Amino acid sequence: MEFVQSAAGDKSWRIRYILAEKIPDLAKLLGSTNLLPIFVKFLQDPESEVKVITTNRAAKFCKLLDSKAITANILPHLVTLSKDPIVHVRQALAENVLPLAGLVGAAGTKAHILPIFLTLIKDTSADVRLPLLKNLEELNKVIGVENISDSLMGAINQLAGDKKWRVRMTVIDYSIIMAKIMGEKLFQEKFGNLCLSWLDDNVYAIREAAIKNIKEVTAILGSKWAEKHVLPKLFSYQTHSNYLFRMSPLFAISLIAPLLSQEAIEGKVMPFVLNQMADKVPNIRFNVAKCLKVMTPLLKNESLKAAAMKALTQLGSDSDFDVRYHSVKSNSK
């Protein structure tokens, strides 16, 4: 213990860094109560790298403490770190603070962790805000997210509008978490329009990710959600001036069709797909063929099955080679 205390006060930050990195393991040997003052000291270290590694070890170390010790000794210093001028320190805190919610319970979370969350979710750096979304389930388990949905959506809207498309992409990935946490009603109220707006993004990778995301969200929220909110959005692209956007509903339908009700498939989706056959752009027409390959096995109405087969046959004699190729391929067993 004497050696550990000496190392904790070493002038070299690298020595302090190494000690901070190993502090959860040392706590198991020497006792967490004995090392608590050192852990707290490292949270206030003048070197940002020491604060980062200490924060990264917070969850492991705090598991060795009782909730009172965490609330009284650790959380006040995490509040200070939430306003640290170094972005890497705030990012480390964002990555590690929410798992502490389960250790301090609802009261401790509302009193101490929630204020930290609300500070960090408004941070100017996307690198700080994004980890909070990744770990949001930790907060939801303890206090739910209904009461913070407005603050949450403010941050999400900022991230969704970020100039860097990779940041926008990350938010799309986390929307699946939101669907699981919020449920259909709250998700649609707070997140639904944003989820569908990504289909309008100028970056193809974002639109592609949005389509895959819609499939995952539909699997979570159910066909009724998709039929009420997603299908009207997809159908609106039928007359879009840019053919790249007219292809998006065909891509999406190919993914979500198996999740939809029979009524929606035969009464709404199938007529839409067949109408796209008249598009002047070959890329649209051969994607109609691909879409029909997915749709046809789902049809129970014999007349619609016949219409699908007739459409594939018609596309098989199209003037464009690619359309003919994909039509014949889609029509083969």
Q: What is the pTM of this model?
A: 0.75
Tracing tokens 């860094």 back to the chain, one arrives at 17
The conformation of residue 228, written as its DSSP 8-state character, comes to I
pLDDT at position 121: 87
Q: How far is CA 310 from the centre of its chain?
A: 41
String of DSSP letters for 207-275: HHHHHHHHHHHHHHH-HHHIIIIIHHHHHGGGG-SSHHHHHHHHHHHHHHGGGS-HHHIIIIIHHHHHH
Query: For 45-66, what is each residue's pLDDT tens digit?
Result: 999 999 999 999 999 999 999 9
User: Closest Cα to residue 251, out of 267, 262, 261, 237?
Assistant: 237
pLDDT confidence of residue 146: 74
Closest CA to 44 of 12, 73, 87: 73
The predicted-structure confidence for 79-121, as pLDDT tens digits, reads as follows 999 999 999 999 999 999 999 999 999 999 999 999 999 899 8
What average pLDDT values come out for the chain (333 residues) when binned by 10 residues? 81 93 91 93 96 96 94 95 96 96 92 91 87 88 79 79 85 85 88 90 93 95 96 94 94 96 95 93 93 92 92 89 86 65
